[in-house]
A and B are shown apart, each in its own frame.
Chain A
């Protein structure tokens, strides 16, 4: 089914990537082989998508300059700038 979808351009930590229209940010990054989305602030441990339903807060990212966005609940948009959370 994915083959018919439009492509959307976005960036992660300033790297330009492609996603399919209708994908969430977390899934698009997963598909682009970015499993690690950020690190925890106290112990600097890697974190990535876990529940995909907006309940575990493991996938927080900075999206268009807004901190702590649930990337598994946010759809990718053309030109979106996505970054690991500043910690």
Chain B
């Protein structure tokens, strides 16, 4: 392993791994991926992994999610089985007042070409018979689905390693020095230099930014998830709140807690609340055993939208930081590789530049 690279990617979660994969398809370059743990120790190993577009902010962001979902089948053909399933997504509601909101969402999403429908109770129960009869209706989109995040990240990593990308795992970046020609990255295991570097540090992105005296405007939001025992097939769609994996386990959770930092413990308060939510949605889950619970830390930019592009005043330091990174990973990998390699992305991502926050107050 030499210490000089064309591109160094910091972070090998679903985002860093996808960027490395798409870059590795380009003509010969030296790429290094560094991670302080192994590729699933961050948020990508503690996620629901829905590939979900229909409830994202309508407009450009909803469309981005849809385009990413559309890339999944071909990605699966390229890197191997990642248990991607386009199950269709259902977000049920229990309140009559939500009809108006649902109709509005459908109208807005259709402007961006996203197929979302409002279903009444009967239509919803036809699609998903085990849902509670107490629901009033739902929004539905055929584009939504889910993926196995463990397989996804593993297959990205295997694919980019086949394409000669170097890795340095269990190695934390501790300092970064930047000049216009070169970036020097100090790690626990030595110093590396690169022409370009990419921040894909997930919830630790703020910390990476501090190394260059740039404040990355993000909040950290904890989510807790319940894992049931393997059950007979009980739900077939990705529901806003739960999904069933191929091995039969149902993952339940839609909690979000702010001001917790990087604490990834679970609390019984949220776990019990989540279990109740699960039973409210699908009463039959009452009988299921819970095998375990886990928590993950979402990074959420102040305005909720992804941060994609270069760092302020630095042409050769790139950043890709967002929530819903599993949904967005193929598209983000693709457009970031275009930006880094060609100097321009094939779709307009100017609205996601970090410089937009100069105008926003937290």
Chain A interface residues (CB < 8 Å from chain B): 41-42, 66-68, 86
Query: In the complex, which residues of chain B have a beta carbon less than 8 angstroms from the beta carbon of A41?
Result: 230, 247-248
A68 touches B232 (CB 8 A): no
- With CB as the reference atom, state the residue of chain B lying closest to A66: B287
A86 touches which of B229, B232, B287, B289 (Cβ 8 Å): B232
A67 touches B229 (CB 8 A): yes
Please report the C-alpha to C-alpha distance between residue A64 and residue B61 in the assembled complex, in whole angstroms.
51
A42 touches which of B232, B247, B287 (Cβ 8 Å): B247
Q: How far is the CB of B99 from chain A (nearest CB, A)?
A: 38
Q: Other than the known A66-B287, A67-B287, what 9 A-B pairs have Cβ atoms closer than 8 Å?
A: A41-B230, A41-B247, A41-B248, A42-B247, A67-B229, A67-B289, A68-B229, A68-B289, A86-B232
Please report the C-alpha to C-alpha distance between residue A86 and residue B230 in the assembled complex, in whole angstroms.
11
Interface size class of chain B, counting residues whose CB lies under 8 Å from the partner chain? under 10
Query: In the complex, which residues of chain B have a beta carbon less than 8 angstroms from the beta carbon of A67?
Result: 229, 287, 289
Q: How many A-B residue pairs have CB under 8 A?
A: 11
Q: How far is the CB of A58 from chain B (nearest CB, A)?
A: 14
Please report the C-alpha to C-alpha distance between residue A67 and residue B229 in the assembled complex, in whole angstroms.
10
B148-186 CB mask vs A (1 if < 8 Å, else 0) is 000000000000000000000000000000000000000
Pick 6 A–B contacts, CB within 8 A, sort by A.
A41-B248, A66-B287, A67-B289, A68-B229, A68-B289, A86-B232
Query: In the complex, which residues of chain A have a beta carbon less than 8 angstroms from the beta carbon of B248?
Result: 41
Across the A-B interface, the 7 shortest Cβ-Cβ residue pairs: A68-B229, A68-B289, A41-B230, A41-B248, A86-B232, A42-B247, A67-B229
Please report the C-alpha to C-alpha distance between residue A42 and residue B230 in the assembled complex, in whole angstroms.
11
Query: In the complex, which residues of chain A have a beta carbon less than 8 angstroms from the beta carbon of B287?
Result: 66-67
Query: In the complex, which residues of chain B have a beta carbon less than 8 angstroms from the beta carbon of A68?
Result: 229, 289
- With CB as the reference atom, state the residue of chain A lying closest to B232: A86
Query: In the complex, which residues of chain A have a beta carbon less than 8 angstroms from the beta carbon of B230?
Result: 41
Query: In the complex, which residues of chain A have a beta carbon less than 8 angstroms from the beta carbon of B247?
Result: 41-42
Q: How far is the CB of A24 from chain B (nearest CB, A)?
A: 19
B274-290 CB mask vs A (1 if < 8 Å, else 0) is 00000000000001010
Please report the C-alpha to C-alpha distance between residue A42 and residue B245 in the assembled complex, in whole angstroms.
13
Of listed A41, A66, A67, A86, residue having the most chain B CB within 10 A: A67
- With CB as the reference atom, state the residue of chain B lying closest to A67: B229
Query: In the complex, which residues of chain B have a beta carbon less than 8 angstroms from the beta carbon of A86?
Result: 232
Please report the C-alpha to C-alpha distance between residue A8 and residue B93 in the assembled complex, in whole angstroms.
50
Query: In the complex, which residues of chain B have a beta carbon less than 8 angstroms from the beta carbon of A66?
Result: 287
Q: How far is the CB of A47 from chain B (nearest CB, A)?
A: 14
- With CB as the reference atom, state the residue of chain B lying closest to A42: B247
Please report the C-alpha to C-alpha distance between residue A42 and residue B246 in the assembled complex, in whole angstroms.
10
- With CB as the reference atom, state the residue of chain B lying closest to A86: B232
Query: In the complex, which residues of chain A have a beta carbon less than 8 angstroms from the beta carbon of B232?
Result: 86
Q: How far is the CB of A16 from chain B (nearest CB, A)?
A: 27
Q: How far is the CB of B229 from chain A (nearest CB, A)?
A: 5
Q: Using a CB-CB cutoff of 8 Å, which residues 211-254 of chain B contact chain A?
A: 229-230, 232, 247-248
Please report the C-alpha to C-alpha distance between residue A86 and residue B248 in the assembled complex, in whole angstroms.
12
Query: In the complex, which residues of chain B have a beta carbon less than 8 angstroms from the beta carbon of A42?
Result: 247
- With CB as the reference atom, state the residue of chain A lying closest to B248: A41
Please report the C-alpha to C-alpha distance between residue A65 and residue B287 in the assembled complex, in whole angstroms.
11
Please report the C-alpha to C-alpha distance between residue A42 and residue B287 in the assembled complex, in whole angstroms.
22
Please report the C-alpha to C-alpha distance between residue A41 and residue B44 in the assembled complex, in whole angstroms.
27
Please report the C-alpha to C-alpha distance between residue A73 and residue B232 in the assembled complex, in whole angstroms.
24
Q: How far is the CB of B337 from chain A (nearest CB, A)?
A: 36
- With CB as the reference atom, state the residue of chain A lying closest to B229: A68
Q: How far is the CB of A78 from chain B (nearest CB, A)?
A: 24
